[in-house]
Chains A and B, each alone.
Chain A
Amino acid sequence: MRRAPLARKAALVAAELAVAAFVLVPFFWMVSVSLKPPDEPFAIPARLWPQDPTFENYIAAFRPEFRTYFLNSLVVSLTSVAITVGLALVAAYAFSRTKLLIVSGLLALVVLAQMFPHAAIIIPIYKMMRAGDLLNTYASLIIAYVSVTLPVAIWMLRGFLKGLPQSLEEAASIDGAGPFRVFREIVVPLARPGIIATAVYVLIVTWQEFLFALSFTSTRDMRTLPVGMNDFIGQYGIRYGELMASSVLISIPVVAVFYVLQRYFVAGITAGAVKG
């Protein structure tokens, strides 16, 4: 059936290696810089791997502030994920099960909201946070993150829910279950892959968010990781070693979470997107 299975296999492995190289070369450089002593990143010609690898940068990077930033990021991201997914699921359910002109109109507005440039709305939102006395609190960031991730989350989950068979819901309805019970006992369990997919998407977006985090937190103990990176960037220079060490430390937990959730995420997104 196949002409030259061995040659084909070799070509595939070569392609696999090329993809891995495309991804890993910059990452390798990042790890390499993170292991170099302070002045070595700037050697000419650039050295691929440090002469005397050192963990100095990691020790410097893992300072108390880093742990605070990490905790802040974790709290804000996870809470945002939980709230966004909850709200989006409920809304997406209504969007996928209602055929009303006004509801379609609302859906268009939800998609449009995704297009707002954040730099243009940040000062008005700041004023609202200020009025609510929420600056320098987790709440300000969580509210902002939930708002900006909701549109895509609704969109993803709506596509997913549209693909679910409705016969079960109808059967439950006929058996006398109210809409809340149908939602809780039929829809939510069936939608689990979609929920996980959306959750991972929201997690990645909020984990990296910069502009809101910068604006709404001024005290050092409320900063999140991406903003904390600025500690290494001065008016006149960047401390590359420590910055790259911090970056490696930041990416590890997300990759780990991803590795575990990969299976669900993949299944979830497709189901949503196919029926989009």
Chain B
Amino acid sequence: MLRDRWMSFAFLAPAVLLLGVFLYYPMIGTVIESFYSTSFINPNPAFVGFKQYETVMGKAEFWQVLANSLVWTVCVVALQNVIGFFVAVLLNQALPAQGLVRAVVLLPWVLPGVVVAILWRFMYDPQLGLINSFLISAGLTTEGIAWLADKTTAMGAVILAAVWKGFPFSALIYLAALQSVDREQIEAATIDGAGALRRLRDVVLPAIRNVILVNVVLTTILTFNYFDIVWVLTRGGPQGATDIFPTKIYELGFGQFRFGEAATYGVASIGVLALVAALYVLAQRAGSRRRRPV
């Protein structure tokens, strides 16, 4: 036991020190940079206060990036968790070749994001890709559809690729959670005449409620900052339709040498994400309060 607070601090020190030096110190530098008119071509930046924030937020671009980021995050997290959950329910049944299927389902998650993106870019290709070849031979379309080149379909296409890569992670966690649900409760509900859906709603979901929340928060953070797939598939295009915070920050900083604005976007993105995370925590607290009397 760690009754002694100094012992606690000793246990915390290595990790806290490392995070302080290698994450907080650079991040604080970035926050400071966002108050300076810094760029590669301007080696002697001036302090400009919040002016850079005003400039950045005064452009329609920023709000498009914000909207895209929210759509991207909400859709990927929702789909990944819903699909992951149902796959977990399925894999929790007695099935032929169950062990094999459980292992196979993990494949997308272990592939590097860059590879997944190149693979999907090829699959989406209007002339050479598998998806359009299939649609054409099935007679569903006469000409390949350029999923990634149309601003109305690009975000959907990018989201699908990300869900394909991400759902195994959620499935794995839910599978584990389902295995920990009390068998007796489920059997009792069955004897009471509850159908599969009612058992799911009344017994299973409440039992793994916490897992769902933790999983949703974790995938939200990871998705919001996920860079590889969007960058390789579209680079934020076409016409800015898939530009999200991480791609924008990279493009500004490394593509156009605009460090100050990149820093401004970076700080803004942490603000947005922290806000989203705070909302989850509030929702969870409200939820537990409501549940307590039961």
Contacts and interface: CB of A to CB of B under 8 A. Distances in A.
* Pairing of A with B: yes
Interface of A: 1, 12-13, 15-16, 19-20, 22-27, 29-30, 33, 41-46, 48, 87-88, 90-91, 93-95, 97-98, 100, 103, 106, 109-121, 123-125, 128, 143-144, 146-148, 150-152, 154-155, 159, 166, 169-170, 173, 179, 182-183, 204, 207-208, 210-211, 225-226, 229, 233, 238, 240, 243-244, 247, 250-251, 254-255, 258-259, 262, 265-271, 273-276
Contacts of A125: 22, 26
B265 to A, nearest CB: 8
B104 A103 contact: no
B15 A87 contact: yes
B50 interface: no
B214 interface: yes
B226 to A, nearest CB: 10
Nearest to A93: B11
22 contacts: A20-B101, A26-B120, A26-B123, A29-B123, A30-B119, A46-B128, A46-B133, A87-B14, A90-B12, A91-B11, A109-B19, A114-B221, A119-B249, A121-B23, A123-B259, A150-B19, A208-B228, A255-B110, A262-B106, A270-B180, A273-B173, A273-B177
A117 B266 contact: yes
Chain B interface, >50% SS class? helix
Contacts of A147: 18-19, 22-23
Contacts of B12: 90-91, 94-95, 103, 106
Contacts of B9: 94
Nearest 10 Cβ contacts at the A-B interface: A120-B266, A124-B26, A270-B176, A94-B11, A91-B15, A147-B22, A276-B214, A121-B26, A208-B112, A266-B176
Interface in B92-120: 93, 95-96, 101-115, 118-120
Nearest to A225: B112
A242 B95 CA distance: 36
Contacts of A94: 2, 8-9, 11-12
Contact of A258 (B106, B112, B136, B164): B106
Given A19-B105, A23-B105, A173-B1, A116 B111 contact: no
Interface of B: 1-2, 4-5, 7-9, 11-12, 14-16, 18-19, 21-27, 29-30, 87, 90-91, 93, 95-96, 101-115, 118-120, 122-123, 127-130, 133, 136-137, 164, 168, 172-173, 175-177, 179-180, 190, 208, 210-211, 213-215, 218, 221, 224-225, 227-228, 245-246, 249-250, 253-254, 259, 262-263, 265-267, 269-270, 273-274, 277
Contact of A116 (B115, B176, B214, B270): B270
Nearest to A146: B18
Contacts of B5: 98, 100
